Structure formats: structure tokens, C-alpha cells
Structure 1
Amino acid sequence: MLAEAKGSRSLVVDGITHRYPGGAIAVENINLDVKGGEIIALLGPSGCGKTTLLRIVAGFIAQTQGRIIIGDDIVDRLPPNRRAVGIVFQNYALFPHFTIAENVAYGLAARGVDKATQKREARRLLELVQLSAMGERLPRQLSGGQQQRVALARALAIKPSILLLDEPFAALDKNLRLDMQIEVKRLQRVSGITTLIVTHDQEEALSMADRVAVLSQGHLEQFGSPSDVYDRPRTLFVNTFVGSTNRMAGTLLAADATGAKVRLDAGADIVTRSPAQPVAEGGRVTVCIRPEHLQFVSDDSGFAGVVGMALPLGATVVHEVMMGDGSAVKVSQARFGETRLLENGVAVRVAPLAPTLANVFSASI
């Protein structure tokens, strides 16, 4: 866990619920305890409530229940301009007729800061985001990545306690998106500011955040480190939404604290991790295991199948294997030089690299 940065402020989302007029629930009983200096990603599909939660923290939406606490202060009654939060929107929202320096200084000007301080802070922040030579340009004269850095500098200018990023990389192409993710994380580490980022991009959340809050249909499914969310998902939704996974139907034969045994519909028994939530023996379950956690074996372990297709994907190769019950699993392997692709129709046996890599969930969920 990241140590709390000196001078940074914590954020507590305490039992936040928001209902729309008519009773529809946007978010329900969300609890997050964010340390000062952390980057937290709110991850989930469209409509899961992550942007609503971000706007509640910012003060743009008044929640139905719960509290927002920044540092030691309950800020629910404060308007957005008194919450000391900086926000970067998906479309950057730069003023088109202001120069870049004027855009960066806007928040300071709105707070009555003298012009000399405005100019000094604008110069300092433009240097921080590596745009010191572009202060007199207009937004339309900058690339998308440069405009994003201007929006970030503007948000930092008011010295916010919390930085909020709403899908900040969605408008960028893939290569530029990666560069900007690195740049934003570098700036966040330099400033030490507590940051909340909304995203539907799993790789973005896992690579940038210290912890990830996974939301689905307004509920918090899991809040933990990227490795916990990816390797030890608490729910079937988290396991299937974050990363790629194979789902295999079966029946739970036995389970204890050390592991579980499942009889797959495909016609084999496998040993897995214990269920994240209790499942009765004899109950129907779904076994989830990621393609990179499966391997081809030469003994009688695992389950039998037939290669249906081979897909070389640069550094990896993915084989689709058809199982006895008609379902399919994907097996992903690193490519080393001239890695041989298995031909369609070849009989194989597939097993987990380790029992602790397979997760089990009740099929009724």
C-alpha cells in the first residue's frame, strides 16, 4: 500500500446512495476509504454509476444518502468551488479564445488572485507539464495530448485537495493514450495529490491505480489493489469484466479452506481455489480461469479437448480448444521464436498452471 503523501488529503465516501426522481438507483451504499496521495480508479461498464459518484464527490450532484469527507471536513453542504477539488473532463473544456497560459490561470483569476501570481503559477505549471514554450498559443493550435496536459495544469493551478479525472484518455489514440497515462501518473507522483479517475478501460485502471473500485449496476463489487482485483476477484462479475477469462460449468464436489474440487460438465475433475462466497456441496458452479493460466499437458490431468483454431497475436499465441460438452476455452501462451501452432482437430489435454489460479462462483449468481 502506498504511504500517505505529505500534505495530501484523504477522501472518504461514506455510504453514498443516489436515487433519481422516480426511485431508480444510480449508486447504492458505496464506501471508499482513500488515503492521501493514492490514485483510485473507478472502473466499470457504461451506466454502472462511476461518473455519478465522481460528480457527487465534486459537488455537482447532491447525494440522497451518505457523506463525502475530504481530510477532516464533511463537505456535503459545500458547493463545487469550495470543495477544493480539481476536475479534468473527457473533452478537456478549454476556453477556445483564451491562450494556454490564460486557461491555466483561469481558476486563480476566478478566485481573485493577483495577476502577477497568476502568471507565475501558469509558467510553473506549464513547465511541469512540459508546455512552457506554448503559453501564448490557443487551444486549437495544440494536439489532443497537449490540450489534455493544459486541462491537467489548469486543474492543478488551484492547488486542489482532490484531483478528479473523468475518462481523460477516451479521446486519444492508443499510442498517445499510453504516453499520457505515464505522464499523468508522473505528475500525480510529483504533486502527491489524491486522485480519483473514472474509466471503463481495464488496462488503464490496472496500470495507473494504486487501488481499483469495480462497480456494476450502482453497486461496489470489489475495492482492492490491481493484483487482488485481477488474481483474486470476489465476484463472477469482476472475474469476467476485468481481463479475459474462460467460464466452465460444473458441480462442486467438495470445498474447504485449502481449496475445492469441481466436476466439469466437460468430463473431468479439477482442483481450484476455494469459492469466494460459500457454495453448498453438490451445487452448480462456474469455474473461471484466465487463458494465460492454462497449459497443454501430456499426462491425464486436466480435461480433454480438440483444437479448433490457432491465433498468433504477436508476442502470444491463443489456441481455442473445444471441450466435450461443446463449450470452448482459450489457452494463451508466450511465443518463443518459431513457436509451433497446433493444427485444427488435434486432440489435447488442458490443465491449470496451478489450482490457486482457478476461481469458483455459484452458478446461481
Structure 2
Amino acid sequence: MTGRWLYRTLVALAAAWLAFVVAQLVLSGQWWLWLVPDIVPPLVFTAVPVVLAAGAAAVPRSRRPVALLCLAALLLGYSLSGWNAGALWTSPEPAPAGALRVFSWNTEYWDSDGGPFYPFLQARQADVYLLQEYLNDGDIPTPVHDLDRLQAAFPGYHIAIAGELVTVSRLPILRAYPLPADVPITDTGWVAEFVRDKVLRTDLDLGGGRALSVYNLHLPVQVSPGLSVFGGAFWRTVRDQHAQREPQWRALASDVDANRNPILVAGDFNTSPAMGDLRKVPARLHDAGALLPSLYPASWRDRDGLPRWWRLDWAYTTADVRVHSYEFGRTDGQSDHSFQLLRLSVP
């Protein structure tokens, strides 16, 4: 009786997991409600079928059906899992003289933790800084007025600011503007700017009549962890955040499709490898992630008891931009996000 119960339980669990993987592939990025299942760590899409298959090995009768179900789930779910097999064989080209160092980082409310914030930024010795969350911590977003310190820390650099986004560039900025996103806004003043401006485009002068378009991006987070899932406010927030995210994806796709310059898009996407929203990245863009040295690159958390299991920070380029190195780096507790550091050139 116990053996039959175990057999039925294992088969049911394996079938349920396969159904969840299929639903993730079909519904993620399509239905606002699926933003909640989207928060699962991508690692589970390989871990769960392996654990279930290992458990079935102890129950002979269940081995074959569970193995088949788990194999199907593993094959379908691998693309969602965040594993970076390219790290095993991708060999970056050596960076030529003059290659750009680009640093992208969600600062987690700017200089709010009292750490060595500006020395930390200066130590990266980047040519271009793409910084997010240029605002104060609090229930209501409020702007930071730190331009004087920023200019003093980076003399000779050029600065563009839109809402919570700051781009600091050693190269001259030919033009800068936030992408026009059709976001529903009920606020006014700077809060409206904060809600609306989530992608800042800057065209950087490479000389010789060439320009590199750099998109500094921070998409809204999809859930509010401070709200109970049993309350209506949680689900209203999920729906509202979906309504904030979708116009940003459309604005990015529209601008990238019309832009003939070499392009880099980098920042905090608040989007994991498991989320169907990544299918909304414009087709011209290519993930630089194969150059990450880690087999399982992750850029977010290990605070509040949460392990670093999510990659939420991304860098994409067009084919005419060569990426010579790409890494995530820890920030000595100054942020819950790793920073991204790239070396790239435009032939």
C-alpha cells in the first residue's frame, strides 16, 4: 500500500511540475497574473526534475514514468533555468587599445548606506557609468540632489539625468532623452518623471562621425514583497506594475528598431531568465551573458535571508558592438545588486 501511494505521489508530482513548466513557457510575459509565479528562482527548473527523478529511483515501479516526465520537464525548462553553458567554451577577443569600460549598477537608493559610495564608483575606472535608483529611500519616491558631488567626483565627464537614471560618460554626449513610454500616470512633478522615465538613451561621440547609443534601463519590479498575497492590494500592485512595465518594453523596441547606431542596453531589467518578458527584448540585440565566467550567473540578493539565485541585471548589444569581457561584481554591501562591468569596442 505504501509503495502504491509513493508511486502515485511521485507520478502526480512529476506531471504537475511538467504542467507548470509548460504554463511558464506559455503564460509568462503574456498574462499579468503570471508575474507572481515568475518570481521563482530560475534554478528550480533544473533542480526540481532532478530531485523528483532521484526520489523515483528508490521506488522501482515509478522509475520509468517519472523519469520520462522529468526528462520532458528538464528539456523544456532548461532555457528558463539561468544556466550559462557558454562559459565552458566562449573565448572573448582581447580588448583593443581604446576599448570602453562600461559600468552598470542599481545603487539601491544612491548613497544611502553610509559606505564609501563615490570612492567605490571611482575605483571602477569606467568610461561610462549607467546608474539606477538616483533617489532617496522611502514610501514616496523623492529625488536626490547630488549633481555637484557627482561632477566633482568625475571631472571632465558628461552627465545626463532622467528621473532615477544617471549616465556619466567620459565621451561627449551628443544627445540624451528618456524614451517616451505611454505609461498610466496619476502623479505629478518629479514622481511622475520617476514613474515614466525608465529608459534613458544617450548617444555618445566615438569620433569620426560615429556614435554609440547607450540605453540605461531600470524596469519596475513586478511585485511588492511588503504586501500580503492574501490582500487585494498585493494583486492590484502586480496588475499596476505590469501596466508600468509593458509600455517600457514597447518604447525600447520602437526606439531600437529605428536606431541605426551601434547599441548597448544595460541595467536592472527586474527580469529573470525564467520570465517570458525577455522575449520582448528587440531581436537586433544579443545578450552578452555568454562571456560571463560563471556557469550560473546571478546578480541579485543575498540579503534578508534570500540567496543570490536570480539574474536581474542584463547587458545587450547589437552585432556591430564587440564585447571583450563581461563580469558581475559584489558591492561590499552597498546594494542588493551586483554591478555589471563590460569592456567593449565598436570597430
Q: Between the two structures, name the one with larger relative contact order (CA 8 Å, sep ≥ 6).
A: 2
Higher percent of residues as helix: 2
Query: Is TM > 0.5 for Structure 1 vs Structure 2?
Result: no
TM-score normalised by the chain length of structure 2: 0.27
Higher percent of residues as strand: 1
TM-score normalised by the chain length of structure 1: 0.26
